[in-house]
Amino acid sequence: MTAPGRVLEHHTLVVRDGRILDLLPTADAGRYAATVAVQRPRHLLMPGMINSATYAAKSLFRGLPPDEAIALERRFAAPEFVRDGVLLGLAEMLRAGVTCFGDRYDFPDETARVACEQGMRALIGLPVAEAPSPWAQSPAECLTLGLRVRDEYKGHPLISTAFAPQTESEMSDATFARVATLADELDAGIVIDLHASESGIARCVAVHGVRPIERLWKLGLLTPALRAVHMNHASAADIELAERTGIAISLSSEACLGRERRLPPAASFLDSSIRVGVASAGRACGTHDVWAEMRLLAASSGSAWDALAAATCGGAAACGMDDLGTLATGKWADLCCLELGGPATLPLNDPMTQLVFCGGRDMVSDVWVAGRPLLSEGQLTRLDWAAAAERAGAWARRLKP
């Protein structure tokens, strides 16, 4: 993923201490004395995919109507719920080739803890809300608790954090100002839903006299540290402002299609210099892989490369994770391996195009995070799937009315 369309054949990737040491023709790999050698002759090896915005804990609401899920969330949201939901989400993501996820939900300490235990890389959003929640009773308490989580995982090789204010329409100027100040002082990221619906934009114009992205700009939040999720309804002026201020965008095309009956202006974002990743945000009760997102993005932009880049190096750039996203010396060995010998991809004429338009989670054979195998020949190596499935079944029984 270092140059458009470049596919290397008969190559070997060398990993040491969790990072990529070398990428060279297999004929020359004998210079290294390998402790472990993995051969995948009919496969494609690529950077692990990045789901840049998720609600992993809400995996337990899968299949439920949105209104019913919201009501159940108010009753059951707690550390135990988050733990079991995140485990379920991680199992799905790993089997789909996702090696890093950006999450925003109550009890972010629990999400971080589960990700660490399972060896998964995560960008943990620290919730900031005006209304009381099971996590915190006020914006001030949100920030206090969030800073504790940030301090606990500061410098952790797998976990990073960012402030995650609620939707723009639900936040006061005072709270936004506090978040902006803290983010600047701590050199921290900010992730927020933006321009997800026309009704939300209309409310902002009615109350503040400007569109949401302009409001954030006036409040000093539009910097390269901010990542906007959705941006479904972005005008040419919105896109110009996003590009000029250097913010990143996480696109959730499938959610937009389901809720808004339209696709976000993906081609316009990709034609700009904006950092673009893909996300499952908005599909809280659905899947957490990014295969459908890649196909929709490729259909919108006309480019399989752009779609695959958004799921790998683009997602890494959008999340501020420069050590991920490409198979380059010195970067973390977060890898995804896919078998290309199945009926969906043969005959193999253009691996990249066929991967994006014909591929899916069933092709994923292996996943490594920081060089550690978390999926090997289709089997989870660390996550106890039987136990996770049993807990998910128990929750299904508890959630039934």
pLDDT, tens digit, 9 for 90 and up, residues 266-292? 999 999 999 999 999 865 567 899 999
Q: What does the domain layout of the chain look like in residue ranges?
A: 8-37, 49-318
Secondary structure of the chain: what % helix, strand, coil (to 5)?
45, 20, 35
Nearest C-alpha neighbor of 121 from the set 189, 47, 35, 192: 47
> At the fourth CATH level, which superfamily is domain 49-318?
Metal-dependent hydrolases (3.20.20.140)
Rg (alpha carbons) of the chain, rounded to whole number: 21
If one counts every other C-beta atom within 10 angstroms of the C-beta of residue 63, the result is: 8
Predicted TM-score (pTM) of the model is: 0.96
Alpha-carbon span 214 to 211, nearest angstrom: 5
Nearest C-alpha neighbor of 338 from the set 369, 367, 373: 367
Q: What is the pLDDT of residues 239-261, one digit of tens each?
A: 999 999 999 999 998 888 888 88
Alpha-carbon span 385 to 338, nearest angstrom: 21
Amino acid, single-letter form, for residue 273: S
**What would the mean pLDDT of 168-191 be, rounded to a whole number?**
96
Contact 162, 190 (CB under 8 A): yes
Residue 295 has pLDDT above 70, yes or no: yes
**What would the mean pLDDT of 176-197 be, rounded to a whole number?**
96
Residue 222 has pLDDT above 80, yes or no: yes
Nearest C-alpha neighbor of 252 from the set 237, 262, 244, 238: 262
Phi-psi region of 320 (alpha: psi -120 to 50; beta: other; left: phi over 0): left
- Number of residues assigned to the chain: 401
Residue 27 has pLDDT above 70, yes or no: yes
What is the DSSP track for 287-335? ---SHHHHHHHHHHHS-HHHHHHHHTHHHHHHTT-TTSSS--TTSB--E
**What would the mean pLDDT of 151-162 be, rounded to a whole number?**
97
Alpha-carbon span 199 to 195, nearest angstrom: 9
Residue 139 has pLDDT above 90, yes or no: yes
Of the CA atoms within 13 Å of residue 128, those in its CB half-sphere come to 29
